[in-house]
Amino acid sequence: MRRLRIPVLLSVAVLAAGVATAAVAHDSGADQQTPKRNAAPKAAHPQVFGAPVTIPSGDNLLASVACPAGTVPTGGGGVTQGFRVFLTDSFVASTGQWSVRGTNTDPNPQFLRAFAICTTP
């Protein structure tokens, strides 16, 4: 019994010291350097939407959007009107535009619209 008492007491002391250190660090405001999650972004990155493109049933078409002058696309994608339009490609075009390609598997015509996230280079 005596052989277990010393390691157990030592473990309890180490744990208590760790808890006390964490409590002091928390009370001292050491975590104030962590940025707030709702802080404003450092730079504006507008999302620009292109004109809707009508995709006939069974067809695959391209929709594109250009960023405003002085900005370049850093990302983008597409939005659709229906559930049966599948995006097959999403890429930056060599002209500084973002393009998406979609296939309409619905029996009715559907819309595809490209969007780009633009930033100053």
Look up residue 38 and give its two tokens: 């709702």
Domain residue ranges of the chain, discontinuous segments joined by +: 2-33, 47-119
In angstroms, rounded to a whole number, what is the distance separating the alpha carbons of residues 84 and 105?
5
Band the pLDDT of 2: cuts 50, 70, 90: low
Band the pLDDT of 8: cuts 50, 70, 90: low
pLDDT (0 to 100) of residue 87 = 95
Enumerate helices (H) and strands (E) in the chain, giving the number of each: 1, 7
Q: What is the pLDDT of residues 62-94, one digit of tens each?
A: 999 999 998 899 999 999 988 899 999 999 987
In angstroms, rounded to a whole number, what is the distance separating the alpha carbons of residues 47 and 111?
19
Q: What is the pLDDT of residues 24-53, one digit of tens each?
A: 555 555 455 555 556 555 557 889 999 999
pTM, entire model: 0.62
